[in-house]
Structure 1
Amino acid sequence: MAELAALEDPKARAVNEKHGDDHGVNLGKLRALAKRLKTQQELARRLWATDDTAARLLALLICRPKAFERAELDVMLREARTPKVHDWLVSYVVKKSPHAEELRVAWFADPDPVVAGAGWALTTDRVARKPEGLDLAGLLDVIEAEMGDAPARLQWAMNHCLAQIGIEHAALRARAVDIGERLEVLKDYPTPPNCTSPFAPVWIDEMVRRKGDE
């Protein structure tokens, strides 16, 4: 904790707070610290228990994803209220867990929109890597009906799933683009030069073009 405090950078904190994250540690320096510590599951658990955002991010970098029980991951997700901790927990830990599919199903229908967003993120991962068994048309039905009025983080996760379906599945591409055009979610999102817009129709077209999958 003392090392993390020493890495505090007011400029980094100012940038992070614009994105809803309450820590001031440069992520490059955090990763360097994690590389030095290597995998330490018990230290990871102790760091998580501090409820400090920088400590939790470090915990997610040095933990052993397969060592967590399903119930433990569920509690951790509900405790992870800052965007970066939430995203890293899902991407770096839950996706590598043997409980990922069970949690995907459970979280997908959760009444808490932040938890549901994690369910959608795991679903998007399956759309890309293992779509067998998913009702993709049914997912588009839900997106079409609910994405426009969804809370911000859930809306972002549903939009990513919409784009992924359009990118990966040519038979559903036209419908995915149509849904995106009608709902206009993230249409005006500020996008830096040389970055792809998160507006689904633009995102889909750009990624399909890169793949050469017309």
Structure 2
Amino acid sequence: MDLKFGQIFDENDLVSRWVIQFYSICNDILYTNSKVLHHLDKEGHSALTQYYFRLASSHLKEAIDFFGHSLQFEEIKTFITRFNPDDQEIFNQFINCINGILYNNLNSFRNNSFHYPKIDNKDLIQSIRKNKNNKFELFDRIDGSERALFSDLISMSSTYKYLGDGKNLSRSLRNLSKAVALLLKLKNKVMQYYIQMKKPDIEIIYKNRDV
């Protein structure tokens, strides 16, 4: 069946807009988490692991803000009540997860680690001083692009300042995985509930994956 976007989504409908944004959040968080796991498996707590973790933490912060705002609207609350009790509980767990441990751990980290320090920044100066005696390589090709490893060394050192140490990074990665696991359980369900509400005669067809 050929569908036009306007047959499913309506710019004047709050639930339509909510569902679109929900899946934008899914796309970003699930993608960055897959990259975190990929580099963690290959390289451990590498600069690229931390880079994608910073991206994931930023997406989580934006998700918190989005859900906090959207759940003020009765139309969205009513839509959530269409979920079966188990799925409502999963949704509530997801919201509590990102609003609780993840928000407390990652909000400050995200705000501090996603900026390039100015050249007179004390943390930058301290990181350079701290790594003066460490061995390093200048450049290497990783994932198809050349990286300046000396800069990665300083970036990682600065990142640990905001996370505390490797143990805190591991703990935060586990918290991210918990949120992702809950999001995965909701991912297919939300669209099904939306279609049932808007177009119950339409069958959802997923390409290139099992559902």
TM-score (norm 1): 0.24
TM-score (norm 2): 0.24
Larger RCO, structures 1/2 (Cα 8 Å, 6+ apart):
2
Answer with 1 or 2: which has the greater Rg: 2
